[in-house]
Amino acid sequence: MNADEFKMVEAKRQALLGQLKAAEAAMRSGLHTQGFGYTARAHMERAMAHICEAYIAINEAKQVRTVQQLVDDLNRIQQVMDDSKRGKNQRV
């Protein structure tokens, strides 16, 4: 890759990172919006996780999770949280 090609790729990378930062800011703002219920918030939280993972994949030269791995990890976290809530409710 010559210097001009590298500059073009880097400019595209920087533009994409800027778009991801804007998307992250919009999602964070949306998370504080009331009145749309748990399902909408859960989707926004998942979207945030995907945005963060995409940022890592583009910005860092290391292996990142696949989309399916991320979804599986998020599902496991949700299951643990749900189990914890059920345990607390049973003790009360």
Give the pLDDT of residue 85: 83
Number of structural domains in the chain: 1
End-to-end CA distance of the chain: 64
pTM > 0.75: yes or no = no
Give the pLDDT of residue 89: 73
Question: Degrees (nearest 5) of the Cα angle 15, 21, 76?
Answer: 125
Q: Is residue 92 scored above 90 in pLDDT? A: no
Per-residue pLDDT tens digits for 30-83: 988 888 888 888 899 999 999 999 999 898 877 888 899 999 999 999 899 888
1 DSSP 8-state letter: -
Domain containing residue 13: 3-91
Radius of gyration from C-alpha coordinates of the chain: 18
Q: Is residue 17 scored above 80 in pLDDT? A: yes
Are 55 and 20 in contact, with CB atoms under 8 Å apart? yes
